[in-house]
Amino acid sequence: MKPLTRADLYSLEDYAEVRARFRAEILEHKKNRQVTIGSHATLYFEDRRTIQYQVQEMLRIERIFEADGIEEELSAYNPLIPDGSNLKATFMLEYPDVQERRRALAELTGIEERVWIRIGDGEPVWAVADEDLDRATEEKTSAVHFLRFELDEASCRAIKAGAAIAIGIDHPRYQFGCDPLAEPLRAALAADID
């Protein structure tokens, strides 16, 4: 997928006019791009449309309209768009209770590197986490991580040909695997591969 440019974005004024419709479209689009793993982990697979929405919202919230500021946001978010041989996702650890979340994040250090994806009967492909900046310390992990699953040519061909996709986590304190993804989600991820 091509990175976003300023030409792909709405101005703040234009975005205000289309925001409700655009937001509804993106929320519907995202329904086929998320996977819950166990009770507390979710992968939200990103693509050009989801990232455009994130950029538009940041520009709106921060009232950014100058070229340099827009380029800065694009530079921050474009790396989250799959670029043909990978899948990219926002990984969230979700614990509503603050104390439980604090305890879990301390117990789950390194979990971001123990998330895997399996194409067909292939070996697991482990996530590459947080390439933009470290979000974890030796004492705790973060509740949000950005993951990349880099796929070899055979895996890319298999996805395009309809191979099943399974996802899981293999951490000593959090081990879950999912059934093969439902077809709408599998097809959405296949569209991310060139």
Q: What is the pLDDT of residue 137?
A: 77
Q: Residues 85-95: pLDDT tens digits?
A: 999 999 999 99
For residue 39, pLDDT beyond 90? yes
Q: Residues 44-100: pLDDT tens digits?
A: 999 999 999 999 999 999 999 999 999 999 999 999 999 999 999 999 999 999 999
User: What's the whole-number mean pLDDT along residues 171-185?
Assistant: 94
**Has this prediction a pTM greater than 0.75?**
yes
Structural domain of residue 54, as residue ranges?
6-190
CA 187 to chain centre: 16
Count structural domains, the chain: 1
Tokens 């004492």 sit on residue: 139
Tokens 């994040």 sit on residue: 105
- Residue 172 domain flag: yes
Q: What is the pLDDT of residue 132?
A: 72
- Residue 1 domain flag: no
Q: What is the pLDDT of residue 123?
A: 94
Q: Residues 138-166: pLDDT tens digits?
A: 889 999 999 999 999 999 999 999 999 99
For residue 174, pLDDT beyond 90? yes
- Residue 93 domain flag: yes
- Residue 182 domain flag: yes
User: What's the whole-number mean pLDDT along residues 111-132?
Assistant: 93
Sequence-ordered strand ranges (E) for the chain: 34-37, 41-45, 86-93, 115-119, 125-126, 128-129, 144-150, 165-171, 174-177
Please say whether the beta carbons of 72 and 38 come within 8 A.
no
What is d(CA 127, CA 85) in angstroms, rounded to the nearest whole number?
A: 13
Q: What is the pLDDT of residue 131?
A: 78
Q: Residues 19-35: pLDDT tens digits?
A: 999 999 999 999 999 99
- Residue 125 domain flag: yes
